[in-house]
Amino acid sequence: MVRGKFLLCRFFSVLLIGGVIVAGGAQEAAGAPGPVVDLGAFPVDSDSRATAINDDGTMAGVYSSPAQGSIAARWNPDGAVVPLAVPSTHRMTEARAINAKGFIAGSAYDSISVRRPVLWRPDGSFTELSSPDRYGHSEATAVNTAGVVAGTVTIGTPPAERAARWDAKGVMTLLPLAPGDTKSAAAAINDAGVIVGTSGEKAVRWNPDGTVVRLPLLPADDRGSAQGVNSAGVVVGVSGVHPVRWAANGAVTALPSLRPEDPAGNAKAINDSGVITGHSGVGGGRHSAVVWDARGAIAGLGTLPGHDQSAGAAINSRGVVVGDSELTSARGRHAARWTAPGKATDLSRSFPGGDRAEAFAINVHGQAIGESLPPEGMTHPVTWTPGGVLTDLSPGSNTPEANAINVHGVIVGTDNRKLNKDRAIRWAPDGTMTALKEPEYYTYRSRANGINDSGVIVGSASSRRGSSHPTRWAPDGTPSLLPVLPGHAGGTAKAINNRGVIIGSSGIRNETSDHVARWDPDGTVTELMGLPGEKHTRAVALNDRGDVVGYSGEHPVRWSPDGRITKLLLPEGTSRGKATGISDTGVVSGSYDFGVAGTPGQGVRWAPDGTVTELPSLPGGQETKANGINALGDIVGSSDNGSGQVHAVRWPATWTQIPVVIR
């Protein structure tokens, strides 16, 4: 059977009973199928937090997407959210501060995955700020009304973090260290240019002339940090584990807690009226967002409904607080805004859930397998019937993976829940999971990678001291080792067709090259050669005619039954790709990418004559991935939808194809 991966339809109404989800709303209406069918994913709660608010009520913060990681965002006063755009060479963004004019400071990862300090203008345009070390992580953490930015950069060897200031023209200045210190970080800046943060492990203030002043800690405390400063120069932060306030003259005062028996907390920000926000312990290791008034009296702000923990991060002149709220027993913080104690607004409702799923394989009946990310945050193997019923193959554990499915709905894969070791497994059509017997002396690890319609399974097994060895299991579960190529020490079997032909890999001990192996039904092994000059060649799938597909180096390839290799053509301007499956009529699935950082990859289909067609994404999406194809030519994989989600999808074999330019 062809190797691949797959999932279900979109969740409009969901009923969960045991491990089964009944879902409706897939794009499978009567009549001709569309170009792409959204199979959906487990719905996952969003993870977000608000970090800043200005006097207009505009907020900044971040939300997390499994597809894109952290994404900087701006909320309008009415709560509508706008992701902050970055060039294609940047990704993984975070917004930390906003000034009165709407400039937002934060960070973004660049083309070589280094975090850079950045600034977004009110019109949404993006600027990367300078930093002294091309390969050192840096970030902008605060910005005042004049456009002066404070943050932290990395310098030197070994690398050390240093507080820095950028003037309105973008010129950077390192802030001095307190005597004896080797590192520092800036947290906040006021409109007078006073910056606060840490030097070494203690709170400091940098005056506008650049001089550094240590802020005293509470008696018996040996560390602390300054987190916020207002226009009068009053500073707030933490001393040891206690929230504190420093007067403009530097005198320190401990702020009260909600519960005297739980004094831990943090003061994060202060407005010009002297009102402070942060959090205070409420017992059980949890904390609540709070405000302290100008006299120091504390009031708890509470949480969003159903949550048990919250924290304040910023406060404006009107006393509006923003931060986050969460249920500690479940995944997903929610950005929140408080206008008064107990008056919380959930800002995360504007975000899509962080859904993520991917389809791996599909049989001729339309039953599919794959994985999805449930609310607890770890992927589960799943299967779907053609009618749209999703079954969690491992409702009590998140360790198994499903790798292949045959025409009868028998699924094979790998589990590592026992002793943290891989174990080949098989799911019967009723969902019963059974561990496969391992060959004698090869009981350390095993994996099941493929299955044909007769129930013959292939994969690998390994001894404690040896390499993995290609393995075949008979329909009754009896294991046997497959021979490797002459002079080789091990390998793995990847897929098997209905004639009993197996493909996989074979290798020499301690050699980095990959060799493609094909086993005939009688066990005879031969090598399928890669493209000239390429060391790494892999076979991924085969059909019942004996055609094999995979990749050699960075090129998608196909082998004919007699072993001749053909390089599959790629769309113009692309640099590399892989073939992932082949139907009985010779249609090949696969993917390519441009090789440019930030450029999305694309799923493709090759016709038997080699014509290549791009597979369309879900509406609003850009990136697709094709993982597997059944004998009829239906392809499964994944697509983003432009909203931070990645869903499993199916491309029906019958949709109208528009070939693209090839090179």
Instruction: Between 192 and 514, name the one with better pLDDT.
Output: 192
Q: How far apart are CA 496 and CA 507, in angstroms?
A: 19
User: At a CB cut-off of 8 Å and minimum separation 6, what does 414 contact?
Assistant: 400, 401, 403, 422, 423, 424, 425, 446, 447, 448, 459
Span 256-281, mean pLDDT?
A: 96
HSE at residue 613, side-chain half, CA atoms within 13 A, is: 20
pLDDT exceeds cutoff 70 at 396: no
pLDDT, position 20: 38
Q: Strands 389-392, 401-405: parallel, antiparallel or unpaired by DSSP?
A: unpaired
Q: Of the segments 555-564, 589-598, 654-663, which one has the largest average pLDDT value?
A: 555-564
- Nearest-CA neighbor of 401 among 384, 386, 382? 382
pLDDT, position 66: 61
pLDDT, position 645: 79
Mean pLDDT, the chain, as a whole number? 87
Q: How far apart are CA 238 and CA 257, in angstroms?
A: 13
Type of residue at 510: N
What DSSP character marks residue 347? G
Structure-block tokens of residue 174 = 């390192």
Q: How far apart are CA 169 and CA 556, in angstroms?
A: 49
Burial class (CB in 10 A: 0-12, 13-18, 19+), 513: exposed
Q: What is the edge-to-edge ordering of all strands in the sheet holding 646-651?
A: 37-40, 646-651, 635-640, 624-629
Q: How far is CA 329 from CA 274, 307, 601, in A?
A: 35, 9, 36
Span 266-271, mean pLDDT?
A: 98
Answer yes or no: pTM beyond 0.95. Answer: no
pLDDT, position 660: 44
User: At a CB cut-off of 8 Å and minimum separation 6, what does 498 contact?
Assistant: 1, 452, 453, 454, 544
Burial class (CB in 10 A: 0-12, 13-18, 19+), 420: exposed
Burial class (CB in 10 A: 0-12, 13-18, 19+), 424: buried
Question: How far is Cα of residue 464 from the mean position of the Cα atoms in its chain?
Answer: 33
At residue 635 the predicted structure's pLDDT band, cuts being 50, 70 and 90, is very high
Assess contact for 516 and 505: CB atoms under 8 A.
yes
Type of residue at 515: H
Q: How far apart are CA 587 and CA 583, in angstroms?
A: 5
pLDDT exceeds cutoff 60 at 663: no
Instruction: Between 239 and 417, name the one with better pLDDT.
Output: 239
Interval 520-544: pLDDT, tens: 999 999 999 999 999 889 999 999 9
Assess contact for 446 and 470: CB atoms under 8 A.
no
pLDDT exceeds cutoff 80 at 644: no
Q: From the CB of residue 206, how many other CB atoms can be counted at a distance below 10 Å?
A: 25
- Nearest-CA neighbor of 341 among 307, 308, 312, 317? 312
> First and final CA of the chain: distance in angstroms?
31
What DSSP character marks residue 331? S
Interval 83-136: pLDDT, tens: 899 998 999 999 999 999 999 999 999 989 999 999 999 998 999 999 998 889
Interval 342-364: pLDDT, tens: 999 999 876 655 678 898 999 99
Residue 468: strand, helix, or coil: strand
pLDDT, position 514: 77
- Nearest-CA neighbor of 326 among 347, 351, 297? 347
Q: How far apart are CA 392 and CA 379, in angstroms?
A: 10
Q: Is the dihedral of CA 36, 41, 45, 51 positive or negative?
A: negative
Instruction: Between 151 and 65, name the one with better pLDDT.
Output: 151
pLDDT, position 649: 86
Which of 143-147, 179-183, 591-595 bottoms out in mean pLDDT, i.e. has the lowest?
A: 591-595
pLDDT, position 384: 73
- Nearest-CA neighbor of 218 among 198, 203, 200? 203
**Which of 378-388 are b and which e, b meaning 16 or more Cβ less than 10 Å from the residue's Cβ?**
ebbbbbbeeeb
Burial class (CB in 10 A: 0-12, 13-18, 19+), 493: buried
Interval 472-512: pLDDT, tens: 999 999 999 999 999 898 899 999 999 999 999 998 876 65
Report, in angstroms and rounded to the nearest whole number, the Rg of the chain calculated over CA atoms: 29
Burial class (CB in 10 A: 0-12, 13-18, 19+), 78: exposed
pLDDT, position 10: 26
Span 245-271, mean pLDDT?
A: 96
User: At a CB cut-off of 8 Å and minimum separation 6, what does 109 contact?
Assistant: 90, 91, 92, 93, 115, 116
Interval 564-618: pLDDT, tens: 999 999 887 787 899 999 999 999 999 998 655 445 689 999 999 999 999 999 9
